[in-house]
Structure 1
Amino acid sequence: MKVLVTGANGFVGSAIVRELQKRGHETAGLVRSKEAAEQLEKAGIRAIRGSIEREELLRNAAKEMDAVIHTAFFHKFSQAGLSAKTRILLGGSPGHIPARFMKEAVGAECRAIRALGEGLSRKSGSIVIALPTMTLKAGTVGKESDDGDPGSVGGGRVASERTLLELAGRGISASLVRLPPIVYGTGDRGGLLPSLIRIARSKNAASYIGDGMNRWAAVHRSDAAKLFALAAEQGEAGSRFHAVGEAGMPFKQIAESIGRHTGTPVRSLQPAQAGAYFGWLASFAAADNPVSSEQTRERMGWKPEERSLSEEMEQGDYFKS
């Protein structure tokens, strides 16, 4: 099978590429930089240079494929194109820049999903997209059958889910894999866990909000990659899968582990203090996001095999300087 992976040099995307190679699939990767393209080529992966904003490029690339796994997203301002950056910076009040950034990022993703789907539709190919579990309603155990909640902390990306389901409604084999807030493993530098560790070191305290009993789900990136591959191979139109190895660890427990390894005190914050400590992460740090993967395991025969988050924090390289 010929498979295109967008965001192929990312933390999750690169693991997916390796998994597809192991399964014998002919794999291509969409990347933005020359350096990333060279790394792919050295690994025997065909590199396609470009951004997810280049809809015609995506459409044409998808025409050549049997499947697409879409993991790319504008997580940083620097990843957006010039016109998007201009709209973000000059489109209104400076205080609304974060909201404009998210609008541009989601808009680009929705257009990319449509373009990829249009290309694949001519070959009856399949498309799988990555979405966060934090698009689900907070405070309840999220299930695969649950629709994304626009009122959730990740609710902005529910539009991407709806765009994908529109493709499924047109008969395209379109499915999604939801990823928990902590996707861990060797090489993680830009995820939420290393972000929390950096904050603890800079603030000289590992903190949680209130009683810290809000839960975050987690998965090892290698286990997640296996599920993406399975979804591309077997997923049916409209399927939703959860790449969740652990349904939910209390945030306080995460903070305690960070405090122990960084030698910083562990402290509870009042909600009003969260913004000053966590910055842009404050709303996520307060979210209760337990997630089940029971339906995924039963349907796909998927079973996480890598070490747990607790084991990774004890034995991995997260706390090495």
Structure 2
Amino acid sequence: MRVFVTGATGFIGTELVKELIGSGHQVRGLTRSDAGVEQLKVVGAEVHRGNLQDLDSLRSGATGMDAVVNLAFNHDDFSKFAQNAKDEIQAIEALGSVLESGKLLVVTSGVGPGAPGQVRKESDPATDSSAMPRRPEQAAQAVAAKGVHLAIVRLPQVHDTRKQGLVTRLIQIAREKGISAYVGDGTNRWAAAPLKDVAHLYRLAVESSGPGVTTYHAVQEEGVPLRDIAETVGKGLKVPVVSIPAEKAVEHFGMFFGHAASQDMPGSSEWTRKTLGWEPTGPGMIEDLTNMKYF
């Protein structure tokens, strides 16, 4: 298959491009930098220059492809999160506009929170919260309506010993403030999965997704308690571990992370595993957090 990957030199994209090429697929990767050009050339991918805001580059990159995987999202500046979410929606619309009926669009979403105590399943609808402006699933539904096959991959906290999704920002906050904090009793959970297993799931989704809309959960661990995460980070940074009352969460973590750090976001991947034959084998989040270099 000919596959166009946005975010091709990013955290997940780097692994996915290698996985796809290793399985015999032809990959065209989007990059905005000279370093990205060299990275893609080394692994044998076709280079396509552009970025998430350059909609013409997205349309030309997706033209003639059998599948498009949208992994690009600007995580660098959370003060512009709402604008970044808007850019993502426009990118999905642009990519979908040039895909022919019967071709595949793979979009990236998040497991997100469910009802209190509920473990999110693949059959659950997309989350819809004013605190979370990202709407990739909703944007992609319009693309599916014109006959394009749609696969939604909901991510948990994706980790290795370098990055860990939202936990990476929690580590930065702990380093800046000199304490590793959790909210309340810290029993709220975040689903997690190791990087290489997540990249493998994307490849299986590219190869296996059929007509209509299919939702997958890239979840290895159903839920890791935030207190366990904070305690592991505290040991790594050699800083105290403390509980923050819910009403002080935004003050400590900031607007976005104050909300996220209070959320219970467990997820199940039972259906995904059965459907794709996906069996993650990598380390758990706490193991990766324990083995990362904090200094």
- TM-score, normalised with respect to structure 2: 0.92
**Contact 1:134/1:152 (8 A) holds in 2:** no
2:70 maps to what in 1? 70
Superposition map of 1:172-321 within 5 A = 172-180=148-156, 182-188=157-163, 191-236=165-210, 237-279=212-254, 280-314=256-290, 316-317=291-292, 319-321=293-295
Once the two structures are aligned, what percentage of the paired residues are identical?
A: 38
1:20 maps to what in 2? 20
Measure the CA separation in 2 of the matches of 1:11 and 1:17: 11
Measure the CA separation in 2 of the matches of 1:135 and 1:2: 34
* Structure 1 ranges of 4+ moved more than 6 A: none
Measure the CA separation in 1 of the matches of 2:33 and 2:60: 19
Offset of residue 69 of structure 1: 0.7
Measure the CA separation in 1 of the matches of 2:136 and 2:44: 31
* Cα separation, partners in 2 of 1:72 and 1:303, compared to 1, 3 Å: same
| SS of equivalent to 1:120 | coil
| SS of equivalent to 2:168 | helix
2:97 maps to what in 1? 118
How many residue pairs align between the two structures? 293
Measure the CA separation in 2 of the matches of 1:113 and 1:292: 26
Measure the CA separation in 2 of the matches of 1:214 and 1:119: 42
| SS of equivalent to 1:239 | strand
1:81 maps to what in 2? none
Offset of residue 47 of structure 1: 1.6
Measure the CA separation in 1 of the matches of 2:120 and 2:9: 29
Which runs of 5 or more structure 2 residues have no equivalent in the other structure? none
* Cα separation, partners in 2 of 1:172 and 1:221, compared to 1, 3 Å: same
How big is each residue's C-alpha offset from its partner over 1:7-46, in whole Å with a ceiling of 9 and x where there is no partner? 1111111111111122111111111122222221122222
Amino acid at match of 1:160: P
Offset of residue 139 of structure 1: 4.2
* Cα separation, partners in 2 of 1:138 and 1:17, compared to 1, 3 Å: farther
1:134 maps to what in 2? 112
Offset of residue 61 of structure 1: 1.7
Q: Could you say which structure has the higher helix fraction?
A: 1
2:145 maps to what in 1? 169
Offset of residue 260 of structure 1: 1.9
How big is each residue's C-alpha offset from its partner over 1:110-141, in whole Å with a ceiling of 9 and x where there is no partner? 2211221222216x321101111126556421
Which runs of 5 or more structure 1 residues have no equivalent in the other structure? 79-97
* Cα separation, partners in 2 of 1:132 and 1:152, compared to 1, 3 Å: farther
Amino acid at match of 1:313: L
Measure the CA separation in 1 of the matches of 2:47 and 2:267: 34
| SS of equivalent to 2:213 | coil
